[in-house]
Amino acid sequence: MPLKSPKVFITGDVIQEFKPIAHIVNNEFKGDFCDNCLKPSTNLKKCKACLQMNYCDKQCQKQDWKSYHKYECGYMSDNNYVFLMSLSTSKLLALRFYLRYQRCPEFSSQVIQLYFVNNFHEI
């Protein structure tokens, strides 16, 4: 039996919001969007170690470091980055997911709620 909400929803209401399991910014938009929250910005700060990831502030950098970037930062040296940027967006996303899975064994046992977007488009 489906649950009924006492609230009447109108177009544009946010019913649920989830952070994706893994995400990346398309290569063509690197430097225009935060690599963590995906917000557009003209004043992004680079990761000081690899100089390849861009963040709108320290909070976004810390969140991404905790979730993903600490597992991939060492791979993003200048020589590797040229190769990485030659990969398709889907391969980069798979690599990011794999590196976290490989280096963080407890990641595979976390309960993750999956959701699907019907009109998916890449930013």
What is the enclosing helix (H) or strand (E) of 79?
helix 78-86
pTM above 0.75, yes or no: no
Instruction: Name residue 30's beta-bridge partners.
Output: 33
How much is the average pLDDT of 56-83? 87
- What span, in angstroms and rounded, lies between the C-alpha atoms of 27 and 86? 9
Give residue limits of the domains in the chain: 27-104
pLDDT tens track for 8-52: 778 888 777 776 778 888 888 989 999 999 999 999 999 999 888
**Quick count: other Cβ atoms within 10 Å of Cβ 65?**
17
Name the residue among 110, 115, 87 with its Cα closest to residue 20.
Answer: 115
Where on the phi/psi map is residue 51: left (φ > 0), alpha (ψ -120 to 50), or beta? left
Do residues 19 and 12 lie in contact, with contact meaning Cβ atoms separated by under 8 Å? no
